[in-house]
Amino acid sequence: MKNIVKNLISIVFYCSLGAITATLAQTSETSVQRSKQVSILFVGDVVLDDLPGKAIEQGEDPFAAFEKIFASADIRIANLECVVATTGKAAEKNFTFRAHPRVIPVLKKHFDAISLANNHSGDYGPTAFSEMLALLKEQKMAYFGGGNNLSEAHRPHIIEKNGMRIALLGYNEFMPRSFEANIHKAGVAWSEDEQVVRDINAARQQYKADIVIPFMHWGWENEMTANQRQRQLARIMIDAGADAVIGGHPHVIQDTETYKGKPIIYSIGNFMMDALDNEAQTLGWAVRLHLDQNGVKAWDTSIAKINPEGTPAPQSNTNSPCWNKTTGLKTSCENTQIP
């Protein structure tokens, strides 16, 4: 009888231990799922062909002042507003930008990927654009928003970080449209609405992305608020499944809004260039999104003030916009370098 009781006690003990172990394992798994968090930082137009390019040639790093702010994010993204090449012929337009290949290691030091979808990456023609793609691939500098053909230009760049898959798409919709990639020509991704929707769907379904963020090149220069086309397209992208929309090109900071609980930041302004026309063009944002598997839970900004040499410096004593999904309110936060 004693042996029977002893065996029953042992069975109950081990069953209870198994249940506790299973519960702890499940709790641990849930905790891991909840802890999936990533921060991603975007900066606006970066032109490296003139004074910033000469600084790099002389061994200087024009991004150095932002190193601490860059280090506060898991992922860093920029719009490269020039072609990087030694070949090609300048297009017939007011401004053409071509940087030397020596700038690529500096870009790679600070950024995880760059967008090529803009109105200057084609300034020296398809040959120079193709040279840039080859140089970037050779030095393992990731890019998106451009490619050797239409399919490659519209392919999302996938970044895996902290157990999450983040898809980045880049689009230009500012002339000249001749820079657009086609089936047989290298170039940038153009933002045809139907194609954008297909790309976002493909990022989710084909590439299994948890988060999808389009980085846009749109709007009119020097306008401080987004126009109707920007607002319309932003909504189309979020309706298609984008988690946030980040924009640039107007060379000034524009307004922001929230649509269906998802942030739209219409223009983050310039970040590095010396061809500036007015005071508003000397200011830009480094915007940092805080993500979990459900999307953007908050964003904050650091102001970049560009000097006459085209080099940005953070304005640590100035407050700038921030947003939290919990409150749904945009407020003003300390322009900080908090990790």
Give the phi and the psi of residue 43 in degrees, each rounded to 5.
-125, 160
Q: Which two tokens stand for residue 223?
A: 């306008």
User: What local confidence, expressed as pLDDT, does residue 35 receive?
Assistant: 58
Alpha carbon distance 154, 198 (integer Å):
10
For the entire predicted model, the pTM comes to 0.89
Pick the CATH number of 38-333 from 1.25.40, 3.60.21, 3.40.50, 2.60.120: 3.60.21
Integer angstrom CA distances of residue 152 from 143, 181, 247, 266, 301: 11, 9, 21, 25, 31
Nearest alpha-carbon partner for 242 in 254, 252, 233: 233
Q: How far apart are CA 81 and CA 45, in angstroms?
A: 5
Rg of the chain, C-alpha, whole Å:
23
Which H or E run includes 239? helix 228-240
pLDDT of residue 168: 98
> d(Cα 326, Cα 312) in Å, to the nearest integer?
32
DSSP designation for 225 = S
Confidence (pLDDT) at 22: 45
Is there a contact between 175 and 92 (Cβ–Cβ < 8 Å)? no
Token couple for 23: 């519960």
Q: Where do the structural domains in the chain lie, given as residue ranges?
A: 1-35, 38-333
Query: One digit per residue, pLDDT tens: the chain, 339 residues?
Result: 445 445 544 544 444 444 444 444 444 444 444 558 999 999 999 999 999 999 999 999 999 999 999 999 999 999 999 999 999 999 998 899 999 999 999 999 999 999 999 999 999 999 999 999 999 999 999 999 999 999 999 999 999 999 999 999 999 999 889 899 999 999 999 999 999 999 999 999 999 999 999 999 999 999 999 999 999 999 999 999 999 999 999 999 999 999 999 999 999 999 999 989 899 999 999 999 999 999 999 999 999 999 999 999 999 888 999 999 999 989 998 875 444
State how far the Cα of 284 lies from the Cα of 311, in Å rounded to an integer. 12
Distance CA 217, CA 27 (A): 44
| DSSP letters spanning 131-173 | HHHHHHHHTT--EESEESSHHHHTSPEEEEETTEEEEEEEEE-
pLDDT of residue 245: 98
